[in-house]
Amino acid sequence: MRLDERYVPYLQMARLYHLARMNDKWFRLDEPLVSAFVERWRPETHTFHMPFEECTITLQDVAYQLGLPVNRHYVSGFLTDFHVYIQGAQPAWQWFQELLGVLPPANQIQKFVVNCTWFQETFGECPEGADEETVRRFTSRLEDMGGYSWGSAALAWLYRCICRVANRHVVKLAGPLQLLQSWIFWRFPGFRPAGYDAFSWLLASRWSGYNPSVSEKGPRVQMTRLRIDMLQARDVSMLTSYV
């Protein structure tokens, strides 16, 4: 997704601009590698059971890899001030107007929700040459987003996705798996791709441009399993500071 430069000042105020720039420094998922590690995951303990001991990805890892805050307001779908936003089983239009500067037509309202298609059609892309007032509709309260513990939310979502994939009836990987892959590269140096030796911040940006082979996935999974089986404690990087 292209980063609109007009949003940058608000992302900077939210202290999330560095994460948005990860779009320019991302890397492709190594599915055989991640799949082999996920097989070691135990949902009951949220840990990888390795040959030497258990290990897991922590909030500290999330903070270092993605630079996400971990000690601010928690991210939750629970509204403590529900009455402010819903009145008479419909959205309270006063705050809606103040927040977005525009109201949805009646045919886009379903009881107390507004159709997602309307949001996509209305706010999918900021028009070229838009004035500041229009841009604010697309960035409304974005500067407040830095006050939440996105690192905790990302880690919880990753745990949930890995637990789901650990079920033998689920075959598709999902979730923030680049975070998991970057953690594997950092904690298990033997699995790092060659030629990515420069330190950078965010730490996950070190693997910028990494593009693993998409062929022979089956044999590569088997080979990775064997390599994991042979891991010992000395093969793990226990660094808690990467500078």
Dihedral of alpha carbons 152, 146, 117, 1, sign: negative
Residues 227 and 177 both lie in one domain: yes
In a domain, 142, yes or no: no
Query: For the whole model, what pTM was predicted?
Result: 0.80
Same domain, 133 and 157: no
Last residue of a domain, one of 118, 137, 156: 137
Asked if 58 and 110 sit in the same domain, the reply is: no
Mean pLDDT for the stretch of residues 157-184: 86
Same domain for 66 and 109: no
Residue 86 pLDDT: 62
Residue 241 within any structural domain of the chain: no
Residue 157 sits in the same domain as residue 48: yes
Residue 80: inside a domain, yes or no?
no
Looking at residue 241, its pLDDT comes to 41
Domain count, the chain: 2
Is residue 242 in a domain?
A: no
> Are residues 169 and 67 both part of a single domain?
yes
Cβ proximity of 169 and 91 under 8 Å: no
| 100 and 201 together in one domain | no
**Residue 230 within any structural domain of the chain:** yes
243 within domain boundaries: no
**Residue-wise pLDDT tens digits, 93-140:** 777 787 888 888 889 888 768 899 998 888 888 888 888 888 888 888
**Mean of pLDDT values over 172-196:** 90
Residues 179 and 61 grouped into a single domain: yes
Average pLDDT, stretch 57-83?
Answer: 82
In a domain, 193, yes or no: yes
**At residue 154, what is the residue type?**
A
Based on the fold, state whether residues 60 and 153 are members of the same structural domain. Answer: yes
Do residue 153 and residue 132 come from a single domain?
no
Tell me whether residue 240 is in a domain: no
CA distances from 12 to 6, 132, 136, 215 (A): 11, 17, 15, 40
Do residue 89 and residue 70 come from a single domain? no
Do residues 200 and 168 both lie within one domain?
Answer: yes
**Average pLDDT over all residues of the chain:** 85
- Per the structure, the complete domain to which residue 123 belongs is given by 85-137
